[in-house]
Structure 1
Amino acid sequence: MAGYDVVTFGETMIRFSTAPGERLETATTVEIGIGGAESNVAVALARLGRRVAWASVLPRNPFGARIAGELRRHGVDTTHIHWVDQGRAGVYYLDTGAAPRPTQVLYDRAGSAIAVCNPEDIDPALATRGRLLHLTGITPALSPSCAEITRRLLTAGTAAGIPVSIDVNYRSRLWTPKAAAETLAPLCSEATILFCGRNDAGTLWGLSGSDEEVARGLAERFDPAVTVLTAGADGALALTRDGTIYREPAVPVDVIDRVGAGDAFAAGFLHGYLDGDVALGLRLGVRLAALKMTVRGDLAVLSDDDIAACLADAGSSHTIVR
């Protein structure tokens, strides 16, 4: 029997962000948090009551302790972290914007402990301990060893019949569209659930047209059981292998912080999918994404009341169990 609902692997960084109206160039104080696509998903799922394990490589120093401790506080199992005595945690800096000035992100993650790790540091059998394995296109971009670990986890999961969700999550600061498309294509071809943003589908694979046409293009190319296309303010849609299309408009929101909204969406969708309901997953995904944007930081730190209202609005009968 699976020990977890979801297992995931990736890098989590320390986040330094300016307060609204401040610039990194002149700020005298910054807010400290953590952020990483896979752990953002893990936290949101844990707060929904799911059993989630997050694996990574972290240094034994205060930043490593901060990352692991914060994830544990939100209910994520961190016992599969590989700890190293040398190395560093990745860092990113958020120069918080306000219209018309965009928010800018500066990365300092090269040579982080996870990027220079040995592929043997993570046991691929971990993939078989969950009901679902969640991976993103960010991790393979970090280094050849991270790409190898991702492939090993994917291979172990699919060999055991474990559903795999892959979020393309293209990052132009990490690699070129050509390199990303070539590396991610074989991974996406093994996905049970494929998440892809409308812009990423165009950048990596030249897909264009209506959202339905883009989703069908992804489905024809990779043949996942479910293709999920996100389109920002235009909402999201899901296309199942039998040709059924589900659509969900975005929820109006007063945005405080957009970072992590896509991860909250993925968590909401996976929550519904684990209950066997694609339509519910889509409804819950857009609602969790909207709620996340009302919270500063990467993590969807939502109260039980927030989540209960969100579940009820999406039509879920699921009860949060802690």
Structure 2
Amino acid sequence: MKKIVTFGEVLLRLTTPGNLRFSQSRDYVATFGGSETNVAVSLANFGIPTEFVTRLPDNDIARACISDLRSHGLRTDGIIYGGDRMGIYFLENGASFRNSKVVYDRSGSSFSTLRPGMIDWETIFADAGWFHWSGVAAALSQDGADTCLEALQMADRMGLTISCDLNYRKNLWKYGRTAADVMKPLVQYSDVIFGAEPEYKEILGIAPVGFKAVNTDYRLNLEGFEEVGKQVAKLVPRCRKMFLELRNSLSANHNLLAAVLYSDRSLKHTGIYDITHEVDRVGTGDAFVGGLIYGLLTYPDDDQKALDFALAASCLKNTFYGDFNLATVAEVEALMNGDSSGRVQR
């Protein structure tokens, strides 16, 4: 199997212990993560050859990060060195009706000062079959967006499948251009698009349908979601498959999840999962994306199975601390097939 390449910024994550507020905490738990990194770890964990491409400073923290990524089976040969610092994000985990909070410290990071011409995309893509990127990589700077374009043009020229997670983060777009202005031309290279409803609205201007489930008996507005798919197909003619992960948050620890797929002028959908005891919600969307890429490659003739696998992977991510989804294929398939008992496996 040809490898998958993901591209983006890996961050040092500093989390307050338990559910302490930033104002209370005197200690922070250090881990690593980031959207495209999380997708890569999921894929490697599922046994897919995966290479993560980024730019890091040449220091001990970056080397610790690379060691961590390699421990999950990631290839890191495409990582280049330069710049002065890693990007950081601080996380305060919410509880009940108090939302979690994220504070970014990414300005001037090695990745945010990346420029076109620094990465040898042709060499990286030589043995690759799939390239995945997200809107976060384009949000940090114009040079970052231009580097995304450089990668997309090379991936297109070399015949790779290209996937994009829209991944809109309003607090990152600070260099004078809107996300829609930058992302619309880049998204045109996509064979597969992932996103949540608000992201399709911000990037492509498509009004949300809504997902207000309070239990698993909720009925999806299938006609509305099919219309969203039709609009994406018109706006991005190259796109073969459009995915929406749906979430309704009843509290910081109680969420209902579902997902839909529009492809070949038809809509597929999952059932609804009721998540009542979250350990760590961060990275669940990335687990969905990683699960979908795995599913599309593993079940190429069964989009429904790929979609069900992806949502089950996303649900299981809620049970792991940190950004990364550490669920095995067997665990995801068990949940997908109805085993949600939580019994001890002997």
Distance in 2, Cα, partners of 1:279 & 1:245: 10
Distance in 2, Cα, partners of 1:309 & 1:24: 35
Distance in 1, Cα, partners of 2:110 & 2:326: 27
- Offset, 1:66: 2.1
TM-score between the two structures when normalised by the length of structure 1 = 0.91
- Offset, 1:3: 4.5
Distance in 1, Cα, partners of 2:193 & 2:204: 14
Q: Give the residue type in structure 1 aligned to 2:243.
A: V
- Using the TM superposition, name which of 55-64 and 262-271 deviates more: 55-64
Q: Percent identity?
A: 30
- Offset, 1:211: 2.5
Which residue does the alignment assign to 2:62? 64
TM-score between the two structures when normalised by the length of structure 2 = 0.85
- Offset, 1:215: 2.5
> Which runs of structure 1 show a deviation greater than 4 angstroms over 4 or more consecutive aligned residues?
none
- Residues 192, 226 of structure 1: 8 Å contact kept: yes
Q: Does 1:36 align with 2:34?
A: yes
Distance in 2, Cα, partners of 1:21 & 1:39: 25
- Offset, 1:287: 0.5
- Using the TM superposition, name which of 274-283 and 258-267 deviates more: 274-283
Distance in 2, Cα, partners of 1:81 & 1:185: 27
| Structure 1 residue corresponding to 2:288, chosen from 265, 268, 273 | 265
- Residues 166, 203 of structure 2: 8 Å contact kept: no
Secondary structure of the residue aligned to 2:262 is: strand
- Residues 93, 106 of structure 1: 8 Å contact kept: yes
Q: Give the residue type in structure 2 aligned to 1:252.
A: D
CA, structure 1 residues 292+89, in 2 after alignment: closer, same or farther (shift >3 Å)? same
Q: Give the residue type in structure 1 aligned to 2:331.
A: A
Unaligned 5+ segments in structure 2 are 210-223, 248-255, 338-346
- Using the TM superposition, name which of 149-158 and 20-29 deviates more: 20-29
Distance in 2, Cα, partners of 1:144 & 1:30: 32
Q: Does 1:296 align with 2:293?
A: no
Secondary structure of the residue aligned to 1:11 is: coil
| Structure 1 residue corresponding to 2:241, chosen from 226, 243, 248 | 226
Q: Give the residue type in structure 2 aligned to 1:273.
A: L
- Offset, 1:199: 1.4
Distance in 2, Cα, partners of 1:42 & 1:220: 30
Secondary structure of the residue aligned to 1:259 is: coil
Q: Does 1:251 align with 2:273?
A: yes
Count of residue correspondences: 308
Distance in 1, Cα, partners of 2:313 & 2:241: 20
Matching of residues 136-285 of structure 1 within 5 Å: 136-175=134-173, 179-208=178-207, 209=209, 210-223=224-237, 224-232=239-247, 233-240=256-263, 242-253=264-275, 254-275=277-298, 276=300, 277-285=302-310
Q: Does 1:102 align with 2:138?
A: no
- Residues 127, 154 of structure 1: 8 Å contact kept: no
Matching of residues 5-16 of structure 1 within 5 Å: 6-16=4-14
CA, structure 1 residues 111+88, in 2 after alignment: closer, same or farther (shift >3 Å)? same
Distance in 2, Cα, partners of 1:218 & 1:255: 32
- Residues 19, 92 of structure 2: 8 Å contact kept: no
Which residue does the alignment assign to 2:90? 93
- Using the TM superposition, name which of 173-182 and 98-107 deviates more: 173-182
- Offset, 1:77: 0.3
- Using the TM superposition, name which of 8-17 and 178-187 deviates more: 178-187
- Residues 257, 274 of structure 2: 8 Å contact kept: no
| Structure 2 residue corresponding to 1:120, chosen from 98, 117, 121 | 117
Unaligned 5+ segments in structure 1 are 316-322
Distance in 2, Cα, partners of 1:20 & 1:134: 33
